[in-house]
Structure 1
Amino acid sequence: MKLILTTEVSGLGAPGDIVEVKDGYGRNYLIPRGFALRWTRGGEKQIDSIKKARDAREIRDLGTAKEVAGRLGALRVKLKTRAGESGRLFGSVTTTDIADAVKAAGGPQLDRRRIEITSPIKSVGSHRISVRLHPEVAANIDVEVLGT
């Protein structure tokens, strides 16, 4: 099945890319969630507008991405959230919470979709988070989760 991606899908592509995927993956996952559109000749015209929007949001070049990665690596991010007596959180820390905490700590504004949490953060303590700034650059952030 040929699809046009509307959002970035990890391991598949960026918005505006035309990808070939298995029918079930496209029909049952990508299209219903709004991650992709069916490829048509008319849909190809939408690719230009999708790519223009992506270029406006993205970090322009590799040098800028490396600079932002250096700033993020030196940043100490503390996130306060509700926790129980044993240090277990009520709920979990989301990518939006992390993006807001980075901004509050004096870091750059991050797109929550670029923050990758490998396993859910459900406990108090220090956690390492990865941020994809550019296709070739990923930054690691140390997030200190504090219980209140």
Structure 2
Amino acid sequence: EKLSGTTIKLTQKAGVDGRLFGSVTNADIAEELGKNGYKVAKSQVRLPNGPIKTIGDNTVSVQLHTDVTVEITVTVYGETA
């Protein structure tokens, strides 16, 4: 699958300490993947530690089928308020 190893970039408002004011959820990730041509439902995006709350690189699993799971990298950039 072409999705494996994909990196997506998201920008969120963050404080100077690198923590996000909000969080990046599976819905945000699925929406961004959709913009990049990958049809993924938010229920397929696995965030084992819950929503992403810090800037930086995060490895996220996407379950495409029962036996097919790929890992992508979600890079979160901070945007100062």
TM (norm. structure 1) is: 0.50
Q: Which has the higher helix share?
A: 1
Aligned equivalents of 2:59 and 2:37: distance in 1?
16
The correspondence of residues 38-77 of structure 1 with structure 2, limited to 5 A, is 70-77=1-8
Q: Per chain length, whose mean CA-contact separation is higher, i.e. which structure has more relative contact order (CA < 8 Å, sep 6+)?
A: 2
**What's the CA shift string for 1:92-134, capped at 9, x where partnerless?**
1111100111122x23121001111011311000000111111
* Structure of greater Rg: 1
Q: Which has the higher strand share?
A: 2
For structure 1, which runs of at least 5 residues remain unmatched after alignment?
Answer: 1-69
Match of 2:45 among 115, 118, 122: 115
TM (norm. structure 2) is: 0.87
For structure 2, which runs of at least 5 residues remain unmatched after alignment?
Answer: none
**What's the CA shift string for 1:23-68, capped at 9, x where partnerless?**
xxxxxxxxxxxxxxxxxxxxxxxxxxxxxxxxxxxxxxxxxxxxxx
Aligned equivalents of 2:11 and 2:77: distance in 1?
5
| Overall identity of the aligned pairs, in % | 37
Structure 1 runs, 4 residues or longer, greater than 2 Å off? none
RMSD of the TM alignment (CA)? 1.2
